[in-house]
A and B are shown apart, each in its own frame.
Chain A
Amino acid sequence: MSAAVRTPARAPILPMLVRQTWAEFLKLWRVPAFSATSLLLPVVFYAFIGLGQAAQPLFRGSHITFGAYFLASMAVYAVANVMIFSFGISVANERGMKMDLLMRATPLPPLVYLLSRCITAIFFAALTLAVLFPFAYIAGGVRLDASEWFTLAYRVLLGSIPFIALGFAIGYLAGPNSTIAVINLIYLPTAFASGLFFPKQLLPQIIQNISPYLPLYRFGQLGWDAIGAPTSENITTDWLYLAGYGVAFFAIAAWAYRREESRKFS
Chain B
Amino acid sequence: MIDIQHLHKTYGNAKKANDDITLQIYPGEIFGLLGPNGSGKSTLFKQMTGIIQPDYGDVILNGHSIVSDSLEAKKTFAFVSDTPDNFLQLKGIEYLNFVANIYQVPNKEKAQRIESTAREFGMYDDLGKQIASYSHGMRQKIMVIGALVVNPDIWILDEPMVGLDPRSAFNLKNKMREHADKDNIVIFSTHVLEVAEQIVDRLAIINKGHLVFVGTVDQLREMNHSDKSLEQIFLELTDTEGENPLSQEKLDAAQGV
A interacts with B: no
Binding site for B on A (CB under 8 A): none
Binding site for A on B (CB under 8 A): none
